[in-house]
């Protein structure tokens, strides 16, 4: 179907006439035709399919974090969905006796159930906008909504994957996120080939199966910049088999194919106040877990920093309470043990939810096959919903508003933790929270 013609025809149908909703049907005052009650979107079956496909087409390019999942359709009306996880078969070390059939083995299948949730968004289109605009606003709205849906659903999967239990901090030279350094003259914890080798070693040791002959990784553009200077880096056109390229794939190294996404996870520590990223110690330590501070140009409200993490002397502490000039610190969020350290006057206090000195930390996910599962977009996964002028009845008495929107049912779950590694590093760049 010619998309320009289809969009134009639908727009005219969408905007035509005054429609009055009653108990028997929706009447078009120009044509006298009556659409059965409940079919107020005014879309033919063909156009419903066209616009649903158009919505999905504009959502899919953003779904980098769904690319490598075990995918399942959502049964109509289902609130939960089951993902299957197959256990490896044990070794058979007993010799076979001649002429005797050995005992068979059963597949060991376990099911992981996850609860499906709904997400959605819509925009309003006024009658004047529909009738007088030169551009096809309905088509553009669907395109923008598709992008919104894609980014939303991708982020849902990303946050699940970023919660995995196998974490590698750089080249394993440090033991925690807040120790990752960046922006120094030397010794930065950027993504290197050795980081990738270590992750691959782990996946191989766990017998994680490859995906089309390689492990796969999702990487942020800031981080790929640090990695791609290695001479061993191969671009897709240099592969022995370059016919099966993933959406967004940028290259391969150490047996790992990389898909780039600006939506890759970044751990960002927010500023400590609205005017300053850091605080400054005010005087030397007296009572060490009650740290006095100052900040130029702002008064910090009482308990405004409760629940935040800070870095002092490169040590991480939890803020249990605060006054306008004092932090009461603990070693963890249970507040069972006071945080004590010596410090000097004028020392900077950094936000502590990310890297050293509050620097952003990037997650690069390296995975094997069947590490996680998610739901498909087709069927009940992503729907295009149109309400035409007049369909709202008395709440829109002058037929001034139409809407177009999307609704999705979605769940993502990690299936085998051992088949996934999250490499956390800093980068040459600072991107901020996403």
Place of tokens 């996910």: 365
Q: Residue 25 is part of which domain span? A: 3-86+108-162+374-411
Residue 102 lies in a domain: no
Tell how far CA 411 is from the center of its chain.
Answer: 12
pLDDT above 80 (res 382): yes
Residue 25: pLDDT band by 50, 70, 90 thresholds? very low
> What is the structure's pLDDT at 259?
97
Nearest to 410, CA basis, from 371, 374, 373, 370: 374
| Helix residue ranges, H only, 36-136 | 45-59, 127-132
Tell me the per-residue pLDDT of 189-234, one tens digit each, with 9 for 90 and over.
999 999 999 999 999 999 999 999 999 999 999 999 999 988 889 8
Residue 433: pLDDT band by 50, 70, 90 thresholds? low
Residue 76 lies in a domain: yes
Residue 134 lies in a domain: yes
Q: Which helix (H) or strand (E) holds 318?
A: strand 315-322
Residue 434: pLDDT band by 50, 70, 90 thresholds? low
- Same domain for 147 and 286, yes or no, is no
**Residue 300: Cβ-neighbour burial (10 angstroms; 0-12, 13-18, 19+):** buried
> What is the structure's pLDDT at 132?
60
pLDDT above 90 (res 267): yes
Q: What is the pTM of this model?
A: 0.84
Least confident of 26-35, 184-193, 336-345, 388-397: 26-35
**Residue 434: Cβ-neighbour burial (10 angstroms; 0-12, 13-18, 19+):** middle
> What is the structure's pLDDT at 121?
96
Q: How many domains are contained in the chain?
A: 2
| Residue, of 387 and 281, whose pLDDT is higher | 281
Nearest to 329, CA basis, from 285, 321, 287, 179: 321
Q: CB–CB of 228/185 below 8 Å?
A: no
Residue 30 lies in a domain: yes
Region of 87 (left: φ > 0; alpha: ψ -120 to 50; beta: rest) is beta
- Same domain for 387 and 340, yes or no, is no
Q: How far apart are CA 353 and CA 264, in angstroms?
A: 17
Residue 35 lies in a domain: yes
> What is the structure's pLDDT at 24?
33
| Rounded mean pLDDT, 112-133 | 83
Q: How far apart are CA 334 and CA 73, in angstroms?
A: 41
| Rounded mean pLDDT, 412-433 | 91
pLDDT above 60 (res 12): no
- Same domain for 396 and 285, yes or no, is no
What are the tokens at 94? 């007993």
Q: How far apart are CA 133 and CA 412, in angstroms?
A: 40
Residue 201 lies in a domain: no
Tell me the per-residue pLDDT of 26-59, one tens digit each, with 9 for 90 and over.
333 333 333 332 334 556 777 778 888 889 999 9
Q: How far apart are CA 53 and CA 412, in angstroms?
A: 22
- Same domain for 9 and 145, yes or no, is yes
Q: What is the share, in percent, of the chain residues with pLDDT greater than 90?
A: 59
| Rounded mean pLDDT, 375-404 | 87
Tell how far CA 25 is from the center of its chain.
Answer: 43
Range among 116-130, 244-258, 284-298 with highest mean pLDDT value:
244-258
- Same domain for 44 and 135, yes or no, is yes
- Same domain for 286 and 151, yes or no, is no
Q: How confident is the prediction for the chain on average, in pLDDT?
A: 85
- Same domain for 334 and 380, yes or no, is no
- Which 8-state DSSP code applies to residue 347? -
Tell how far CA 15 is from the center of its chain.
Answer: 36
pLDDT above 70 (res 411): yes
Q: How far apart are CA 393 and CA 22, in angstroms?
A: 8
- Same domain for 147 and 293, yes or no, is no
pLDDT above 80 (res 396): yes
pLDDT above 70 (res 329): yes
Could you please report the per-residue DSSP string of 388-425? -TTTTGGGSTT--EEEEEEEEEE-EEES-GGGEEEEEE
Tell me the per-residue pLDDT of 61-114, one tens digit each, with 9 for 90 and over.
999 999 999 998 887 777 888 887 776 677 777 888 888 888 877 767 778 889
> What is the structure's pLDDT at 179?
97
> What is the structure's pLDDT at 107?
67
What are the tokens at 110? 């376990």
- Same domain for 284 and 342, yes or no, is yes
Residue 333 lies in a domain: yes
Nearest to 429, CA basis, from 270, 259, 168, 191: 191
pLDDT above 60 (res 10): no
- Same domain for 305 and 401, yes or no, is no
Q: How far apart are CA 210 and CA 104, in angstroms?
A: 27
pLDDT above 90 (res 135): no
CA separation, residue 272 to residues 13, 24, 245, 297, 428 (Å): 53, 60, 43, 13, 23
Q: How far apart are CA 254 and CA 260, in angstroms?
A: 17
**Residue 236: Cβ-neighbour burial (10 angstroms; 0-12, 13-18, 19+):** middle
- Same domain for 321 and 394, yes or no, is no
Q: How far apart are CA 401 and CA 80, in angstroms?
A: 35
Residue 171 lies in a domain: no
pLDDT above 70 (res 370): yes
pLDDT above 50 (res 5): no
Tell me the per-residue pLDDT of 224-244, one tens digit each, with 9 for 90 and over.
999 998 888 988 888 877 678
Q: How far apart are CA 225 and CA 191, in angstroms?
A: 9
Q: CB–CB of 247/190 below 8 Å?
A: no
Q: How far apart are CA 63 and CA 73, in angstroms?
A: 16
| Rounded mean pLDDT, 341-347 | 92
> What is the structure's pLDDT at 20?
30
pLDDT above 80 (res 421): yes
- Across the chain, how many H-helices and E-strands are there? 6, 24
- Same domain for 334 and 407, yes or no, is no
Nearest to 58, CA basis, from 156, 153, 118, 145: 145
pLDDT above 90 (res 351): yes
Q: How far apart are CA 377 and CA 424, in angstroms?
A: 30
């Amino acid at each position: 179907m010619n998309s320009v013609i289809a969009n134009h025809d639908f727009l005219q149908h969408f905007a035509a006439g005054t429609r009055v909703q009653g108990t028997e049907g929706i009447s078009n005052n120009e044509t006298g035709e009556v659409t059965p009650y409940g079919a107020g979107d005014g879309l033919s079956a063909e156009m419903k399919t066209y616009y649903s496909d158009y919505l999905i087409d504009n959502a899919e390019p953003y779904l980098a974090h769904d690319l490598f999942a075990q995918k399942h359709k959502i049964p109509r009306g289902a609130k939960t969905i089951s993902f299957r996880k197959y256990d490896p078969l044990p070794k058979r070390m007993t010799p076979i006796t001649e002429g005797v059939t050995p005992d068979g083995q059963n597949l060991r299948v376990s099911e992981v159930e996850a609860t499906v949730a709904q997400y959605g968004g819509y925009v309003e289109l006024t009658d004047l906008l529909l009738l007088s605009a030169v551009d096809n606003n309905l088509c553009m709205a669907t395109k923008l909504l598709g992008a919104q849906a894609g980014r939303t659903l991708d982020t849902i999967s990303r946050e699940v994957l970023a919660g995995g239990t196998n974490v590698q901090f750089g080249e394993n030279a440090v033991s925690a996120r807040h120790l990752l350094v960046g922006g120094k003259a030397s010794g930065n914890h950027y993504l290197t080939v050795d980081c990738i080798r270590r992750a691959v070693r782990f996946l191989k040791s766990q017998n994680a199966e490859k995906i089309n002959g390689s492990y796969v990784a999702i990487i942020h553009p800031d981080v790929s910049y640090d990695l791609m200077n290695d001479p061993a880096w191969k671009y897709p056109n240099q592969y022995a088999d370059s016919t099966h390229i993933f959406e967004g794939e940028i290259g391969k190294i150490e047996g790992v194919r990389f898909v780039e996404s600006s939506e890759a996870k970044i751990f960002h520590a927010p500023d400590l106040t609205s005017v300053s990223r850091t605080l400054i110690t005010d005087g030397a330590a007296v009572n060490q877990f009650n740290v006095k501070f100052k900040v130029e140009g702002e008064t910090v409200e009482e308990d405004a920093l409760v629940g935040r993490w800070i870095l002092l002397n490169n040590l991480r502490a939890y803020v249990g309470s605060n006054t306008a000039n004092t932090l009461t610190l603990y070693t963890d969020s249970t507040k069972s043990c006071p945080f004590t350290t010596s410090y000097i006057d004028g020392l900077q206090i950094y936000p502590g939810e990310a890297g050293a000195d509050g620097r952003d930390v990037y997650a690069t996910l390296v995975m094997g096959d069947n590490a996680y599962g998610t739901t498909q977009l087709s069927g009940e996964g992503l729907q295009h919903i149109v309400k035409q002028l007049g369909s709202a009845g008395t709440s829109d008495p002058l037929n001034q508003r139409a809407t177009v929107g999307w609704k999705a049912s979605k769940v993502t779950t990690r299936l085998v933790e051992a088949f996934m590694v999250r490499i956390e590093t800093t980068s040459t760049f600072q991107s901020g929270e996403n």
